[in-house]
Amino acid sequence: MNRRGSDQVPPREVGLELTLDGIGDLEVEEDHRLGEQKNGSYNAWLVTISCSIVHALHTASVFIGPSTLLSPMRKDLNLSVKEISLPLNVNRLINTLFLIPAGIFLDKSGTEKPLVISIIVASVVCFFWPLSTSLWQLVAIQAILAFTILMGGLTPMLIIASRMFESVEKMSMVTSILLAGFSLMGFVTPLLLGPLADRYGWRTTSYLFPTLLSVIGLPLVLRNLTSKRSEGSSRVRSLRSASTPTDGTLWMLDSTSPNMRPMGLTAEAPKENNSREPRTSPPLMTMPYFAVLGAAAGLSVCLSIVNDHLIIFLSEDVGYPLRTATTFMSFIHLIALGAKLSSGIAGQHFRKGVLLILAAISITTSALLLLEYHDSELQLTSSNVRLSLFAPFYAIGYGSMLNLLTSVLPEAGSANLALRSNIYSLVISAVQAMGSYAAGVLKTTSGSYLSTIILFTCACFAQILFCLLFVVVYKPTVSQDTTANRHWATTPTL
């Protein structure tokens, strides 16, 4: 008897030996998979950049452009400051009321069709904005545009972009790209619209971004943000799933087929320690989360006053030409963009609570620069030096604060994160609407922005207090399920 022949086991029974043909097929399959991955990665980043451009043009047409032109609009339509701020605040209130229902609708119906319809509606309705002749026409237009933001704004863009990436680690860069487009548009829009409005009037200037949205934004949506573009990424995800199983099976190449399939050889995963007590999810309303909401509310008051009323204050109260006032606002957004990026890097090396306090102090300093005592009386400053210092102090504080508050949310862990994020967004949207309207009322009744700036200053001091509270009560602990996440289960609750 041939001992060697009797001891040898057929390759198909063990599943470890590969024929030469199988090895060649494996190389072909691997080359095909790598090609698909490169193509899918290109598509993924193309979709992300397209989302950023469309979102930037959409918000410029709906929010940034109209808020930049509030002063000439108010004069042309003979409206008070309280009245001219009403349309944008109606938009914010609708977003506040329908934010959660819109999210549920998008989860059930998908994002592509609502996104396409929203961009088409926004492209058409925005052309009616410069044709308006009364306040209620402006309110009706912004009410319609509010739903285009809900169905075609940042939320669906994040959903579409996130579906293109398998790795969660890349979502930080994806989010940065999406928000960078909005921040850059905040810099570019006032810089463009101010000189154009001085030369051609606010009505003609208002057609600029709706035209860009129709000519650039809508084709990008139809070409790059539909299911056809995501097919390549879907194939890549399926290939990755096939080559990296999660059940411990070692995938071998069958000697008779070039296709990957399990051959019955498995690697045992480490056994779980079932004796460990189950971890309890952190409660929704913890003290650190309450502090974050309080700081976000104070920041929202400041945002609403600066975004909606600073250009009016500079052009009508201080006496700057509209071109100069809009340029001033542009550089605030540019500095804020740098602060957002810098604070994200700093947050990886320093305590975020301390950075939040420094950001709040910076915003408070900017508020105090707008006030001065003259003849033992508190007045608004008209000093160009103090106004020039206001811009960097406010922009650095605002950009850092907004970025840090948002980045703190996921550190509570995955439990209730979606609900926490929605509540956080609701607070920002609702307080911005109330803050902007209150600033308009104070300006209209008193004839000066002094009371509004005092409100601004109080909101700044409130931010400092809430940031101090956050530092005191926030005790991060490393989560047992992942070292990258933190949770607030050990912190006191309300």
Evaluate whether residue 98 is within a structural domain: yes
Evaluate whether residue 335 is within a structural domain: yes
Could you report the per-residue pLDDT of 260-303, keeping only the tens digit for each? 333 343 444 444 455 455 555 556 677 888 888 999 999 999 99
CA distance 354 to 482: 25
CA distance 454 to 281: 41
**Can you give the pLDDT at residue 14?**
45
Evaluate whether residue 1 is within a structural domain: no
Q: Whole-model pTM?
A: 0.67
Domain boundary among 263, 296, 320: 263
Query: Where residue 311 sits, what CATH number does that domain have?
Result: 1.20.1250.20
81, 443 contact by CB (below 8 A) = yes
Query: Packing angle between helix 322-346 and helix 384-408, nearest 10 degrees?
Result: 40
Q: Tell me how long the chain is.
A: 494
**Taking the CA of residue 33 as centre, how many other CA atoms within 13 Å lie in the half-sphere pointing to its CB?**
17
**Can you give the pLDDT at residue 36?**
46
Q: Do 315 and 450 share a domain, yes or no? A: yes
Phi, psi of 250, deg, nearest 5 = -85, 120
Q: Do 239 and 307 share a domain, yes or no? A: no
Q: Do 55 and 190 share a domain, yes or no? A: yes
Q: Do 321 and 201 share a domain, yes or no? A: no
Pairing of strands 371-373, 260-266: unpaired
301, 455 contact by CB (below 8 A) = yes
| Residue 375 CB contacts under 8 Å (≥ 6 apart), including other chains | none
Could you report the per-residue pLDDT of 102-124, keeping only the tens digit for each? 877 877 777 888 889 999 999 99
Looking at the chain, the number of H-run helices and the number of E-run strands are 21, 6
Evaluate whether residue 454 is within a structural domain: yes
| Residue 279 CB contacts under 8 Å (≥ 6 apart), including other chains | 480, 481, 489
Give the total number of structural domains in the chain. Answer: 2
CA distance 310 to 312: 5
- 192: tokens are 């463009």
Domain boundary among 201, 233, 263: 263
Evaluate whether residue 31 is within a structural domain: yes
Closest CA relative to residue 54, chosen from 158, 191, 128, 143: 158
**Can you give the pLDDT at residue 269?**
44
Is residue 380 within a helix (H) or strand (E), and if so which, with residue range?
strand 378-380
Q: Do 289 and 170 share a domain, yes or no? A: no
Q: Do 301 and 245 share a domain, yes or no? A: no
Q: Give the helix ranges, DSSP H, for 201-217.
A: 202-205, 208-212
DSSP 257-324: -SSEEEEEEE-PPPPP-TTSPPPPPPPSSBHHHHHHHHHHHHHHHHHHHHHHHHHHIIIIII---HHH
Under DSSP, is residue 478 helix (H, G, I), strand (E, B) or coil? strand
8-state DSSP, 127 = G
Beta bridge partners of 262: 251
* C-alpha angle 336-338-344 in degrees, rounded to nearest 5: 100
CA distance 171 to 161: 9
Domain boundary among 263, 293, 309: 263
Evaluate whether residue 378 is within a structural domain: yes
Range of the domain at 211: 20-263
Evaluate whether residue 165 is within a structural domain: yes
Q: Do 231 and 294 share a domain, yes or no? A: no
**Can you give the pLDDT at residue 476?**
61
Q: Do 243 and 320 share a domain, yes or no? A: no
Q: Do 60 and 173 share a domain, yes or no? A: yes
Evaluate whether residue 15 is within a structural domain: no
Q: Which residues in the chain come in under a pLDDT of 50?
A: 1, 3-6, 9, 12-18, 31-32, 34-37, 228-272, 275, 413-414, 477-494
DSSP 316-375: III---HHHHHHHHHHHHHHHHHHHHHHHHHTTTS-HHHHHHHHHHHHHHHHHHTEEESS
DSSP 154-187: HHHHHHHHHTT-S-GGGHHHHHHHHHHHHHHHHH
In the block, which residue shows the tokens 């109606």? 90
